[in-house]
Chains A and B, each alone.
Chain A
Amino acid sequence: MRHTNKSFLKQKLNQKETIVLELKNLHAEVEGEGIEILKGVNLKVNKGEIHAIMGPNGSGKSTLAKVVAGHPEYEVTGGDIIYNGESILEMDPDERAHAGVFLAFQYPVEVPGVTNTTLLRESYNTIAASRGREELDPLEFDDYIREKLDLVEMNPDFLERSVNAGFSGGEKKRNEIFQMAVLQPTLSLLDETDSGLDIDALRVVSDGINKLHGEEDAIVLITHYQRLLNYIIPDFVHVMIGGKIVKSGGKELAFELEEKGYDWLESLAKVNGEAK
């Protein structure tokens, strides 16, 4: 460590308390197949921050989000995931959800036969119980849920429909953010929530996300389009290529990417890759 003066140390300590998510040289592969997808990801996300991850198709963005949420299809082969100061590698996906991790899926899964309300009441109450919040009785829950519907301007009819079954692409995405609103996570991983939303929907959903975001939670959003970042303004933008974060910057990086594409960073990815 080069800086040893007191004020720096103090800053460090404070920061530690505010770190929501820290990925340390995270490696992950497809379980049982030996295909490595994440090749040493480092990332630090503090309370109150919004991080955007961009990068070409197939670079590992969704995999990263799923690994943090605990998808059993992937095996962490190196490094660590620190959430609120503790490693969560050994936790099941539901335990991570209880601890406040939320993944809005790039491709939300259809669950025929399970209504949105059933899912949400079940989820809300288990999560509330484990986070020390009060459980809501059906009437209170109804009021609560309606308020959240308004937030994303979703039609109440969707409550009694099977989760995502027959929903349009955009409706599924909106439903994910609706769930986020209901569950009030500490860490939201939003995987291409903007893809599939029409222009008006994008505005509504973004407004919703902005309202949900506060000092105590953090958001990591994965997107291909700079446009989303006009609505949801990120504190940091990261570029992921070949299973690693190869460049980080402020929101201006998104404009640069929009203009130049990823080619100019590919070489950076290689150099970094060989240097390790």
Chain B
Amino acid sequence: MGNLTKAEPSILHNLAIHAPENTPQWSNVRGKNLKALNSTAFPHRKIEEWRFTDLKPIERTEFVPLSEAGVLPATDIEKYFIPESDRSRLVFINGRFQEKYSSIGGLGKGVTVGNLNANASHETVSSYFDKLVNYEEDVFTMFNGVMFEDGAFIHLEKGAKAEAPIQVLNLYTDASKPFVATPRMLVVAEEESDVTIIEDHIGLSENRYLTIPVCEVKTKKGAHIHHVRIQRDSINALHVSRPIAYVEKNAEYHSYTITLGAKLSRNEPRVVQEDEEVNFTLDGLVLIDGEQIADTHSVMDHRFSHANSHQLHKVVVNGSAHSIFNGKIFVRRDAQKIDSFQENRNLLLSIDGLVNTKPQLEIFADDVLCSHGATIGQLDPEEVFYLQSRGMTEEKAKEVLTYAFALETIENVKVESVHKLLIEEVYRYTKANSVEKVTA
């Protein structure tokens, strides 16, 4: 799109010379991505897709390679473990696999839970790794493809049902200089298999780092995947994520993304329908405050008939935080009988908060049912008064209403400890943000 080669090399281009060595198994992947990276320019706000999101915090940070960043070790890791995953956990610190904290092989025969480096020769890895990722002219995925140290690999054989959720825990530690992490994930669920994945990103301190997680998911015939993604990065972190999922016949992919942390986050979840009769969800909850910027650009790509898709994206903005939502729904020409729901609801608690929202429907078939809507509102003064007339203080009433607004999106998270954790996070947010005065 004309932004090739003309721009100056960015910090990411410059860092790419520090790609990990001694990993011959990935040399093809790295080579391909390096070539692409070197002919792709860093995006800027003149490009429509980046109109509202200023990437200067990335461009202007002097990131150094991980080995020169002076990273501190992680402590108290266990407190982030979810008990349900005691036999199925992968831990990464700054993108590097931590075998001693991980728990693999506990889910029995048909389920592989491991790291990519150890599974590089797995047939599934050779067939799919870096082949599913599909983001146009995107320096971030390319950079990840050059720099990744390792990654999570989850594979379910035909008919295998993971009897416990799999936790993929990404921790980022304090460091004296800002660094870039490039976590990676490949999930392949063969026919009729079933798995729940909890992907967690946690900043252990308040330092600046950039993480660029790339996640590829393949949901084969009749398989079911539930994918919970929690972003609790450091308040100064930058987070650019690319999770993409493919859904085959009769398969279901349901993802729930909870965005709490990071100074700047750009999340681009995509779901691609690969056959008829599929069902997918791309829900999101964003709770931001202060100077945070949270940007979600999603794609739901309906390519065949008979799909049911659902996207509820809820956002609460306080302080001078800024939320951006662009939700693309494609319905291709022959994709009939599509039932697609998209709703973006924004609750603006402060005068200085900002919301940009743009549902974007591109429908080329005629027999489809697509409902979509976007609302931006404040707390309803009538609701506040109603609760006050029942004895709640104004502050409490606003807290309760904010909490209620946010809670709806996490109700479908069925892993008990995660559900509880998310409720606590929502509660903490509403408490901490006991809310500037609502102007009627």
* Stretch in A5-13, A89-97, A241-249, A253-261 touching the partner: A89-97
Interface residue total, chain A, C-beta cutoff 8 A? 30
B residues in contact with A105, CB < 8 Å: 386
Alpha-carbon gap, A110 to B401, bound state (A) = 11
Whether A111 touches B383, Cβ cut-off 8 Å, given contacts A73-B440, A94-B393, is yes
Whether A114 touches B385, Cβ cut-off 8 Å, given contacts A97-B390, A123-B392, is no
Q: Is the CB of B385 within 8 A of A123?
A: no
Whether A92 touches B389, Cβ cut-off 8 Å, given contacts A111-B404, A113-B407, A114-B401, is no
B residues in contact with A69, CB < 8 Å: 389
Alpha-carbon gap, A179 to B381, bound state (A) = 20
Q: Is the CB of A114 within 8 A of B404?
A: yes
Task: Report which of B381, B389, B440 forms a contact with A97, defined as CB distance below 8 A.
Answer: B389
Contact digits for A170-183, partner B, Cβ 8 Å, 1 yes 0 no: 00000000010001
Whether A70 touches B389, Cβ cut-off 8 Å, given contacts A94-B394, A109-B383, is yes
Verify if A266 is at the interface (C-beta below 8 Å from B): no
Whether A72 touches B404, Cβ cut-off 8 Å, given contacts A94-B393, A97-B391, is no
B346 to chain A, nearest CB (A): 16
Verify if B408 is at the interface (C-beta below 8 Å from A): yes
A residues in contact with B404, CB < 8 Å: 111-114, 162
Verify if A103 is at the interface (C-beta below 8 Å from B): yes
Contact digits for A96-137, partner B, Cβ 8 Å, 1 yes 0 no: 111000110100111111100011001100110000000000
Q: Is the CB of B386 within 8 A of A111?
A: yes
Task: Report which of A73, A110, A118, A183 forms a contact with B381, defined as CB distance below 8 A.
Answer: A73
Whether A103 touches B389, Cβ cut-off 8 Å, given contacts A73-B381, A109-B382, A111-B383, is yes
Verify if B400 is at the interface (C-beta below 8 Å from A): yes
Chain A contacts with B in 63-77, Cβ cutoff 8 A: 69-73
Alpha-carbon gap, A72 to B382, bound state (A) = 10
B residues in contact with A92, CB < 8 Å: 388, 393-394
Verify if B405 is at the interface (C-beta below 8 Å from A): yes
Verify if B387 is at the interface (C-beta below 8 Å from A): yes
A residues in contact with B381, CB < 8 Å: 72-73
B residues in contact with A97, CB < 8 Å: 388-391
A177 to chain B, nearest CB (A): 14
Chain B contacts with A in 195-240, Cβ cutoff 8 A: none
B residues in contact with A93, CB < 8 Å: 385, 388-389
B255 to chain A, nearest CB (A): 22
A109 to chain B, nearest CB (A): 4
Closest to B397 in A: A94
Contact digits for B368-399, partner A, Cβ 8 Å, 1 yes 0 no: 00000000000011110111111111101100
Alpha-carbon gap, A108 to B404, bound state (A) = 18
A165 to chain B, nearest CB (A): 10
Q: Is the CB of A126 within 8 A of B400?
A: no
A102 to chain B, nearest CB (A): 8
Interface residues, chain B, with chain A CB atoms under 8 Å away: 380-383, 385-394, 396-397, 400-401, 403-405, 407-408, 440
27 A-B pairs whose Cβ atoms sit less than 8 Å apart in the complex = A69-B389, A70-B388, A72-B381, A73-B385, A92-B388, A92-B393, A92-B394, A93-B388, A94-B389, A96-B389, A97-B388, A97-B389, A97-B390, A105-B386, A109-B382, A111-B383, A111-B386, A111-B387, A111-B401, A111-B404, A112-B408, A119-B390, A122-B390, A122-B392, A122-B396, A179-B390, A183-B390
The 9 tightest CB contacts between A and B, nearest first, are A113-B404, A109-B386, A93-B388, A97-B391, A123-B390, A123-B391, A94-B388, A126-B391, A127-B391
Interface residues, chain A, with chain B CB atoms under 8 Å away: 69-73, 92-94, 96-98, 102-103, 105, 108-114, 118-119, 122-123, 126-127, 162, 179, 183
